[in-house]
Amino acid sequence: MGLQRHGTCENGGYMGGLTADPAFLATTFVVIDFEATTPTGYPAQPIEVAALALRYEEGAWTTVGRGTSLIRPPAFAPVTPAVTAQTGLTPEQVKQAPSPAEALGALDRRFTASNRYLLVAQHAATEAKLIHNQREHCPALARVDLLDTIPFAKHLVPGLPNYKLDTLLAHFSIKQPADRHRAAADVDVTAQVFFRLVSAADEDAQLSDLAALVKIAGRTAKCNMPAQDGLFDI
């Protein structure tokens, strides 16, 4: 995201086909997670976002950017007791938070035109839809395609009872964070899952390069899809 390097993440080591691919090495992977409210009759509204930007350099993951922000939801989408029970976030905490335009605009400005990005998310359809619905506030972010850790994991670790984040954490012996279901904590453990999957992919002949990974786990941002206007015109 154009920031100074903050450190090298654990999980260096074997340089296989995927992590030796020039396209993979040229990509900044941004692990992203939202917490949201789901008001009746409206699409989900974000109340928190976290992003962790990563590059694979010299056999190890390096953090090149990190950010998190609470987001003030509109009046029609209050933080409900159910949301508080899941996330720990309260109406009082988000009342004075930045607006979606402020919070997502600040995140959007960290995506520079000179870099190649892919978003990484657990169940990426959820994040993709939320980003698309907020695209007026984050036009650059809304044009970044995604990688979904669920089909990535299904390809590499077949036979799990399900592919929920908690199941993947248990499979890879990744410790559950104390503040699970907060955006920053979920981004950190999703990144750990992604590291394990990339390491396994290095030994998978079907995942020899980034294009193969995208074919298995990629999701095109809706803003990048061909327009369908007039398809059903009579």
Provide the CATH number for the domain around residue 27.
Answer: 3.30.420.10
Q: How far is CA 218 from CA 10, 26, 49, 190, in A?
A: 24, 17, 21, 16
Query: Do the domain assignments include residue 230?
Result: no
In this model, does residue 48 exceed pLDDT 90?
yes
Name the token pair of 124: 């990426």
Note the pLDDT of residue 2.
37
> Per-residue pLDDT tens for 77-99?
999 999 999 999 999 999 999 99
> Quick one: average pLDDT of 39-46?
96
Query: Do the domain assignments include residue 232?
Result: no
In this model, does residue 161 exceed pLDDT 90?
yes
Note the pLDDT of residue 16.
67
In this model, does residue 172 exceed pLDDT 90?
yes
In this model, does residue 149 exceed pLDDT 50?
yes
- Residues with Cβ < 8 Å from 16, sequence gap 6 or more? 201, 202, 203
Query: Do the domain assignments include residue 2?
Result: no
Note the pLDDT of residue 228.
58
- Residues with Cβ < 8 Å from 108, sequence gap 6 or more? 137, 138, 139, 140, 141
Name the token pair of 27: 């990509």
Number of folded domains in the chain? 1
> Per-residue pLDDT tens for 94-141?
999 999 999 999 999 999 999 999 999 999 999 999 999 999 999 999
Query: Are residues 181 and 84 in contact, defined by beta-carbon separation less than 8 angstroms?
Result: no
Query: Are residues 163 and 150 in contact, defined by beta-carbon separation less than 8 angstroms?
Result: yes
In this model, does residue 9 exceed pLDDT 90?
no
Query: Do the domain assignments include residue 18?
Result: yes
Query: Do the domain assignments include residue 84?
Result: yes
Query: Do the domain assignments include residue 135?
Result: yes
| Three-class DSSP labels, the chain | CCCCCCEEECCCCCCCHHHHCHHHHCEEEEEEEEEEECCCCCCCEEEEEEEEEEEEECCEEEEEEEEEEECCCCCCCCCCHHHHHHHCCCHHHHHCCCCHHHHHHHHHCCCCCCCEEEEEECCHHHHHHHHHHCCCCCCCHHHCCEEEHHHHHHHHCCCCCCCCHHHHHHHCCCCCCCCCCCHHHHHHHHHHHHHHHHHHHCCCCCCCCHHHHHHHHEECCHHHCCCCCCCCCC
Note the pLDDT of residue 14.
41
Residue-averaged pLDDT of the chain: 91
Note the pLDDT of residue 107.
98
In this model, does residue 43 exceed pLDDT 50?
yes
Name the token pair of 182: 């907060």
Q: Which of the pair, 9 or 82, is modelled with greater confidence?
A: 82
> Quick one: average pLDDT of 14-23?
82
Note the pLDDT of residue 226.
86
Query: Are residues 133 and 221 in contact, defined by beta-carbon separation less than 8 angstroms?
Result: no
Note the pLDDT of residue 157.
97
In this model, does residue 75 exceed pLDDT 60?
yes
% pLDDT > 70, the chain:
90
Domain containing 87 equals: 7-223
Query: Do the domain assignments include residue 231?
Result: no
* The amino acid at 178: A
Query: Do the domain assignments include residue 234?
Result: no
In this model, does residue 142 exceed pLDDT 80?
yes
